[in-house]
Structure formats: structure tokens, C-alpha cells
Chain A
Amino acid sequence: MSVDAERPPLSVFDRLEPLLPLVGKPIQYVGGELNSVVKDWSSCDVRWALMYPDAYEVGVPNQGVQILYEVLNERDGVLAERTYAVFPDLEALMRQHGVPQFTVDGHRPVGAFDLLGVSFSTELGYTNLLTALDLAGIPFSASKRDETHPIVVAGGHAAFNPEPIADFIDAAVLGDGEEAVLTVTELVRTWKAEGRPGGRDDLLLRLARSGSVYVPRFYDVDYLPDGRIRRVVPNLPGVPWRVSKHTVSDLDAWPYPRRPVVPLAESIHERASVEIFRGCTRGCRFCQAGMITRPVRERSITGIGEMVENALTVTGFEEVGLLSLSSADHSEIKDVARGLADRYAGTNVSLSLPSTRVDAFNIDLANELTRNGRRSGLTFAPEGGSERIRKVINKMVTEDDLIRTVATAYGNGWRQVKLYFMCGLPTETDDDVLQIARLAREVIRTGREVSGRRDIRCTVSIGGFVPKPHTPFQWSAQLDHEATDARLALLRDAIRADRDYGKAIGFRYHDGKPGIVEGLLSRGDRRVGRVIEAAWRSGGRFDGWSEHFSFDGWMAAADEALADEPVDVDWYTTRERDFSEVLPWDHLDSGLDKDWLWEDWQDSLAEVEVDDCRWTPCFDCGVCPQLGTDIEIGPTGRQLLPVTAITAGAAALGDHSHDR
């Protein structure tokens, strides 16, 4: 190990600065945000660059990155800085002027860090990873990297099937990152302190053998002549056959972020966020997040109260979002909502509760949280238009529930209701989707009756369903984009054709093409990596952005990259799998029992519903025994007390010049 390698890298800001007047929204590249941290390079021995592979405005509010940024920076000798995808205008200038991918905190070159951790909320960030690697001077192929390059670690929900990017990453971490990043940090620290024995391969082997980290290169994938996977096996002794996800217990012990970074640039969420619980056992069969984050772990009511108050104080935001996969399901949500509403009564603080179910109880909550403010819009996600399809997806809500809930909302002064649906669900017919139009008409008819007003509105928002790994629908065929678009057109026409109600119903939809690429990347295997690289080489960037996304580019890339394989895009997307097929992610353990997933898939086809295990007996999904975890829920029976900090600040500013 040479001492030179440890010399602090020069900030690239001097070279970046002259480029900034030439690009859009330059503020996103300068850092210096409130609560951001720049630690001394030389006093740290493990250094992480954390990337959210999308634009700054999308990435900066991401809770995963914010949590890990703090957890790492709080540790002595550990440093973490953030980096985001640069837009094509700056990318071109950086290439022209030889400016590498940089962190926004210290403007240090990403290539100088020990680790590059990338959080993938969605597979559509894969091309942005390649741009960052390329700009950082890191070879795409993990096998071509040496000791001077960072270890590239993938995390986030997409890391539950990292096979399409297996060639580009050195490692993947599944599940909650709080403890896992510290485990990885310690392994890197020890290896460096020992003088990096055995080089990069030895470090990767240490990571793999720890059982905490998946290192793709230590697994060989063989294929059958028809293109299906024959088997996936470890190729070195001591490397585990399966790698499990990480699960943090006791959320109250992890009250992060404590000091959320507050961007100057406008981001997609101009609010602070407090995670009120993690995991979901509603069992919606399409929902990957609900399946891979089990079991449910609640933050206590008092823990929530402290985090909300702290977030308001340290950020200055006016709004706090209470995050979870199904917010109204917190065991003490009623007391949480009332307690917070009481605390902030008479102030301009607003609280929001995204991800609520279709349930009249949620109207009470929403009313409580909007005591001071405006009742503009409420959002519900029935997901499926017909009673039948909702049984298929296990979204347990009847039409009566829905109409009653929406009527209550209009009756309480809410003017606008937004309804989320999916198109292309397993077994779906045209009629299942056309039922959405009937449902929306019924919503408006009831709403007008209950509120006595004609200015109420309902917006139907619908997108194509993409089957995801580790869900009961992992075996199902995805609907092709032509059929998706045809069904969406039928629905649009049905809504518009209605003279009485059509004008009160808004219709928003996402066309089917991006879903096919997402489907390819979600359920792809290692061969899809070549497609990603070809798409990137043909200019693929920011695939989650309609103005940048090129379906034709992706299809051409797939034709080229898969020309010598017995598989194609349809094979990955619109093909139904059977139970015996080895899935690309079978060696990655989300805790869910594969037999249970298959049973649930069969139940789905039989339109049999499964209840929530928080209130009904365990249905043996396998997670708790497999991972040694358990559901952690209240009630704690505690209450929120009023806080006085808000008024204390004002008193300190008072003009006391006449007091004497």
C-alpha cells in the first residue's frame, strides 16, 4: 500500500465552476446544503461515495441515501459524500473538459473513494450508473477493476435482483442498509489496516464469506439450451449458496435522518419525512415493496413525535410526510394524527399521510391532519377496476367500501379524489379495465348527491403493471405494450364518451412501452447486462424520464446484444414461467418461502384472498422464521404531549431594549 494513494484528492470544483453558467439548474451541482457534511479526508480510513442514480432533484430527498449518509458520517474515521446523475448538458461538458464524476459535498472525484454505494429504487437508473462509472474512470466490467478503483455496491429494492447489473457491480446488499453499511465498513477497514492482503479479490471474498453481501462474480450461472437457467452455484469455498436480506429491528433505535439535508434546488418532495413503520403485510400480490420489507416494524408514537418535531426544527420545512407503505395501518395512527394535529394547531405546519388505503377511517385521519388547512385532494389506490381483479391482486376492498369512503370524503368538504389503478394485471380482461369508468361515474354520482355540489372531481390515474421478483406474480406474463395501450385507449374513450360525468373525471395514464423495459430489467438475468450496456452506448440515459427515454433505442440494443442467445425481450417479459424454472434471483433470499409464493400465485388465479398477519394468524410466508425476525407493533399506550419549542424561538428574538 502506498502512502500516495491516501493523499486527499483535489477538489474538482475549480474545473467544474466555469462549466456551471453553461448548464441548466447549476445549483444542483454545487452542494453546500443546510445539514450537509464534509469531513476531513485524511482523518478517515473508510470513505463512501453514495449515489442515487437519478437527477439531484429526484435523488436528494431519498430517505435511504439520507439515512446512510448520516449513519456513516456519525462514525469516527468514516466519511460519506453524495453524488447524483448529471444531466446530459453537463455530461457533455465534463467529457469535453475532462472533469470526472464528483460528489456534491467535497467535489471529490468518485474514483478516489473506497466504496461507491448506489441505491436503486428502480431499475430505470441502470444506465445512469454506467454514465457515472464512465465519468469516474471506473471500468464497466467489475473483473477489470483493480485496487485503485472503488468497490461498487448496489442497494435498494432493485438489488433484490441485481443480476442484470451483475457485471457492473462488485457487490449487492439486500434489505435494510443501516447495519449492513457498518458491517461492510468494518471489513474494508480491517483489510486496509492489514495492508490490503490479497488485493481486491481478497476483500471481495471477505465480503462474500461474511454472508452479509452478495458478490456476483463468486457465482457461476449455467443455462439450458432453451435459454432458461440451469443452475447458479458458488465457485469458491466458503461462499454461501444463498445470501439473505438484512432486517433492522427496533426502529426507535434508528431515528434517522436526524439532520436531513435541505436542498436549495427545488426537489420533488419539498418536505421533511418521518418513516412511521417499515414493512407491510397487507399482501398485495403485485407489490414488491410489501413483499421484500417484511415483517412490519413500527416506530413508537413518541418516537414519531420526536422525529417530527426535530425535522421541523432542523430543516425549516413547513410540511412533514409520515412515510410507510400503508400509513393508516400503524397501530396508534389515530393518536399519532390527533396528537400531531393538537401540537401544531394554529401554526402553518402541515402533515401528510401518503399511501393510505380505501377506508373510511382514513377520511377521519385526513380530516384531523387538515384541521387548519385546505381540503383539496385525497388519493386512494383501489389498483383494480373490478371486484374480481381486486381479489386476484389481494387488494381487499369492495366496491361498497370504495363508494362509501369516497362519499364520506366529499361529504367532509374534500373536492377532489384521485384514484390509482393498474392495467395489465394477471388474468385481466378489457372488461376489468372498463369497470374503472363505471366506478369513476359512480364516485362522481354519489359525490354530487352527498355534497350537493357539481364542482367535485375525480381523477383516474393508471399505468401498466410490471411483474417483480420476490412476489407471487414473479411467474406471470407481462401484458405487451400494444395490448396495454389498446386497453388504456378503450378506458379513455369510455370515460370521455359519458356526457353527464365525463367532464368531472380526469384521466391520466402512462403508456406501456417504458413498462416493457422496466420488466426486462426487473426479471432479467446476467445476459441483460449486455442490453443495458448497448442501450447506454446508443445514448440511453435517464430512462425514468419520458423526455429522455427511448423505447426504440432499447429494443435495438436488445436485438443486438441478444442476437446469439435463444432469448429476447418477449421471453423476459410476456412469457409466463412455471414452478420448476430456476429464477435469476433464486439464490437471493428475501425470506419469503418460494413454495408459499407459488401457493399465493395459485390462490390469486383462483381469486382467493389472504388476510393481514398483523390481525389474523400467520399464513406462513416464511420471513419471520427464516430471518429470525418478528412483527414489532404497538400499541404502546403513550400519548404525544404539547411542545413549546416553536414559541421559544420567537421569545429569544424579542426586542428587550425597553425591559430595563
Chain B
Amino acid sequence: MAQRQPDREIVPAVQRLRVRYAKRGRLRFASHRDFQRAFERALRRAGVPMAYSAGFSPHPKVSYAGAAPTGAASEAEYLEIGVLAPLDPDAVRAALDAGLPPGLDVVDVVVARSGSLAERLTASIWRIELPGVTPVAAQTPVAEFLGREMVEVQRRTKSGIRTFDARGAVVELSVESSAADGPPCAILHLVVRHQTPAVRPDDVLSALHQVADLVLSAPPQVTRQAQGSLDDSTGAVSDPLAADRGPAGHAAGA
């Protein structure tokens, strides 16, 4: 007997929406796979008319940009969806946000105009809180690290232990003064260029440990504050959705 074909017609997307979402508080412990399943459920709850991939087990068309690691919070995660009808991005934002538990928050939705979202995400700004470490104690390792041209670190990956340079990708690393009251807590401000393999905040922390023996007494609290295009001259990271907004956007019709 002939191979069964799904009855469903495959319809191409008529609109692409770019979504910025945040992973906050205790839900920062969700893995990227956990988020993906929750997001697909939210799409169904919201009734978003998704474009689906072809084949026997069709999947909604969602492209995720590189995700923050499990345990790291983020104010700036991005994804893109393809839909079968022109939608109001503000209504989609509200409906998706309502379909996700508090802590996984949909912050912004825009209609994609042009270009590739992934290509605009060339760098991240991270905030790294180091409970139990005084800002003074963090200064020396940071200065030592910045003074090197290369600091090799190791990380366990699916294919075993991998050794790579954690210094080259770091555009900026500084120690911010912590709050005057309360226990000591150094706060690192890190701007890192996206590359392969990705240099993550924990790689920078192991580099700091390696160059100047920075020891943590408690797990660091890591938050991605922004992602976008890196301006090499100023070190600034721009809003990756800015190019999709503006006069010609959906707001013009209202």
C-alpha cells in the first residue's frame, strides 16, 4: 500500500513576526528545550495561525536565536515565527504573554521587514553578580584578564571537553560598584562578541579563576541584558528590532 500522506495542505507564511522575550526570576532555571515546549503551547493557546513545516510530524515554524544557558536570566532573547495571516503584533504579544507562566515574558513583537534577525545579533551584554565577592577583590582578576591576549578555558560539551580562547570575544569587562548596604557583591559588566564556540559568562568566570584565582563562594547570578549589533568603534550594542520599527511599520496604518 502507498505511503500515507497527511491531508493537510502546506501553506507558506504570509508574515514573519520577531519576538523578544525575557526569562526572569525562578524561571531562569528553564532550559531552552523547556522554553520551546512552553512557547509552542502558548502559540496554540493563543490560536496564532502558524505556518507548519511539511512532513509526517509537522512543526510550527519558529526560529530561535542562540539561547541563554539554563540558570541564566535574560531580558533579551529573540525568536521569529511565520504566520498564515497578517496579525496585529501588539495583540500577538499580549496573547502569547498570557499563554506563558509569569517569568517567561513576551516583551516585544514586531513585523519583520527585511534582513535576517540572526545576523543582527552579533554581541551580548551580560550582568554578572558575584555574591560574596567585594568589588575590590574582583578588580585585579578583571585587569589581569584584560591584559592578556588570550586565556584558554575548558568546557564540557556534548562531544567531550573542549578547549578554547575566552579572551578574544570579550569586548568589554568592568566591575561596577555594588550597593552600599547589604552583603558584598561585585557586579561585572560584560560585552561579548558572538562567535563559535560561544564564549559564555561562565567561561569568562573560569578565565578569571585561571588568571588570578578568583574564587566564588556562591553561584553567580547571570543576566543577559541586551543582544544586538555591535558597534566596533563605540562598543555599543544596538536594538536588533529597531530596523523593523518606524514610520513604515504596522503603526502607520492605525
Instruction: Assess whether A323 is interfacial by the CB under 8 Å rule.
Output: no
| A 1-51 contacts with B by CB, 8 A | 13, 17-18, 20-22, 25-27, 29-34, 36
Interface assignment of A134: CB less than 8 Å from any CB of chain B: no
For window 332-375 of chain A, which residues contact chain B by CB distance below 8 Å?
Answer: 346, 348, 371-375
Asked whether, in the complex, the Cβ of B250 is within 8 Å of the Cβ of A32, the reply is: no
Q: Which of A261-269, A554-562, A625-633 is the interface stretch? A: A261-269
State in angstroms the CA–CA spacing of A581 and B71 once bound together: 57
Q: Is A509 in contact with chain B by the CB < 8 A criterion?
A: no
Q: Assess whether A225 is interfacial by the CB under 8 Å rule.
A: no
A27 to B26, CA, bound (A): 8
Interface window among B100-108, B148-156, B182-190, B233-241: B100-108
CA A371 to CA B92, docked complex, whole Å? 31
Interface bits B84-103 vs A (CB < 8 Å: 1, else 0) = 01111001100100011111
> B202-254: which have CB < 8 Å to A?
218-219, 250, 253-254
State whether B101 touches A657 (Cβ < 8 A): no
The answer to the question of A400 belonging to the interface, with a C-beta cut-off of 8 Å to chain B, is no
Please tell me which one of the listed residues A21, A647, A657 contacts residue B71 in the complex, with CB atoms under 8 A apart. Answer: A21
Contact of A372 among B8, B31, B131 (CB under 8 A): B8
Name the interface residues of A305-328: CB closer than 8 Å to any CB of B: 312-318
Instruction: Find out whether the CB atom of B91 lies under 8 angstroms from the CB atom of A652.
Output: yes
How many angstroms between the C-alpha atoms of A25 and B34 in the bound complex? 10
Interface of A with B (CB < 8 Å)?
A: 13, 17-18, 20-22, 25-27, 29-34, 36, 262, 264-266, 270, 312-318, 346, 348, 371-375, 413, 451-453, 646-650, 652-658
Neighbouring A residues of B118 by C-beta, 8 Å: none
In contact, A653 and B48 (Cβ under 8 angstroms): yes
B46 at interface, CB cutoff 8 A: yes
Whether the pair A374, B41 counts as a contact (CB closer than 8 A) is no
Identify which of A32, A374, A657 contacts B254 (C-beta below 8 A): A657
In the complex, chain A residues whose CB is within 8 Å of the CB of B29: 20, 26-27, 29-30
Q: Does A17 lie within 8 Å of B26, measured CB to CB?
A: yes
Q: Which of B50-58, B119-127, B157-165, B173-181 contacts A (4 or more CB under 8 A)?
A: B50-58
- Contact at A653–B91, with CB atoms within 8 Å? yes
The residues of A that contact B99 with a CB separation of less than 8 Å are: 34, 316
Query: What is the CA–CA distance of A34 and B41 in the complex, to the nearest angstrom?
Result: 11
If the complex has contacts A13-B26, A647-B47, A650-B49, are A655 and B86 also in contact, measured as CB distance less than 8 A? yes
Kindly list chain B residues whose C-beta atoms are within 8 Å of the C-beta of A312: 44
Q: Is B197 an interface residue (CB 8 A)?
A: no
- Tell me if B44 and A318 are in contact (CB < 8 A): yes
A648 lies within 8 A of B47 (CB):
yes
Taking CB atoms and an 8 Å cut-off, the chain B residues in 1-60 that contact chain A are 1, 4, 6-8, 25-27, 29-31, 33-35, 37-38, 40-49, 52, 56-58
- B103/A374 in contact, CB under 8 A: no
Given the known interface contacts A20-B29, A653-B92, A654-B87, the answer about A413 and B34 at a Cβ–Cβ threshold of 8 Å is no
Bound-complex Cα distance A348 to B218 (A) = 45
Instruction: Write out the residue numbers on chain A whose beta carbons fall within 8 Å of the beta carbon of B1.
Output: 413, 451-453
B63 contacts the other chain (CB 8 A): no
Nearest A residue to B219 via CB reads A21
- Contact among B33, B49, B56, B218 for A266, CB-based, below 8 A: B33
Given A18-B219, A452-B1, A647-B47, A652–B31 Cβ distance below 8 Å?
no
- Residues of B close to A649: CB separation below 8 A: 45-48, 95
CA A372 – CA B52 in complex, angstroms?
Answer: 14
Chain B residues with CB under 8 A of A647: 47
- Chain A residues near B4 (CB-CB < 8 A): 374-375, 413
B71 and A20 within 8 A (CB): yes
- When distances are taken between beta carbons in the complex, the residues of chain B under 8 Å from A314 are 45
- Give A312 to B43 CA distance when docked, in angstroms: 12
Chain A, residue nearest B87 (CB): A653
Closest 7 CB pairs of A and B: A649-B47, A316-B41, A657-B253, A316-B45, A30-B26, A21-B219, A26-B29
Would A654 and B86 count as touching, CB distance under 8 A? yes
- In this complex, the member of A452, A648, A658 whose beta carbon has the largest number of chain B beta carbons within 10 angstroms is A658
In the complex, which residues of chain B have a beta carbon less than 8 angstroms from the beta carbon of A31? Answer: 26
B44 contact set on A, CB distance < 8 A: 312, 316-318
Q: Mark B65-80, 1 if CB is under 8 A from A, else 0.
A: 0000011000000000
The interface centre, meaning the residue of B43, B46, B131 with most chain A CB atoms within 10 A of its CB, is B46
Closest chain A residue, CB of each to CB of B202:
A21
Measured in the bound complex, the distance between the Cα atoms of B41 and A221 in whole Å is: 53
Interchain Cβ contacts under 8 Å between A and B, 22 examples = A18-B131, A20-B71, A27-B29, A27-B70, A30-B27, A32-B103, A33-B101, A34-B101, A316-B42, A317-B44, A318-B40, A348-B58, A373-B6, A374-B6, A453-B1, A647-B47, A650-B49, A652-B47, A652-B91, A653-B48, A653-B49, A654-B86
Chain A residues contacting B8 (CB-CB under 8 Å) are: 346, 372
A27 to chain B: which residues have CB within 8 Å?
A: 27, 29-31, 34, 70
- Contact among B7, B70, B87, B103 for A346, CB-based, below 8 A: B7
Q: From A374, which residue of chain B is reached at the shortest CB distance?
A: B56
Q: Out of A20, A21, A30, A315, which one reaches B41, CB within 8 Å?
A: A315
